[in-house]
Amino acid sequence: MISQIGVIPLVKLKQGERARVVYTKEYGRGFVQHLSDMGLSDGSEIEIIAPGNPGPFLIEVKDTSLAIGQGIAKRILVEKTYKGGYICLWLKIKQ
């Protein structure tokens, strides 16, 4: 299992949140091919139209709306992105 800070399953995203698919290869060629057939691959930018609680996730990828079942959404790992592309964090260090 990949362990990167900020990488979460797609199922954790809320309506309106954006993310980039970062890892799909762990589950084998069949699963990766299924995602690719839907237009999803590593690096794909997505936006959650409606979270799947209950039912499927509705996402937008490449100007196309897709319905993704809970089982698949749990297996797709993403990192959140923001409209500007980056988020800046300011840290104040105690001296």
- pTM for the model: 0.74
pLDDT level of residue 42 (50, 70, 90 thresholds): confident
Q: Do 9 and 76 form a contact (C-beta atoms < 8 A)?
A: yes
pLDDT exceeds cutoff 80 at 21: yes
Domain made up of 7-81: CATH architecture: Roll (2.30)
Residue listed under structure tokens 């995602």: 35
In the prediction, which pLDDT does 5 show? 62
CB atoms within 10 A of CB 24: 20
For the chain, what are the domain ranges? 7-81
Compute φ and ψ for 75, nearest 5 degrees: -95, -10
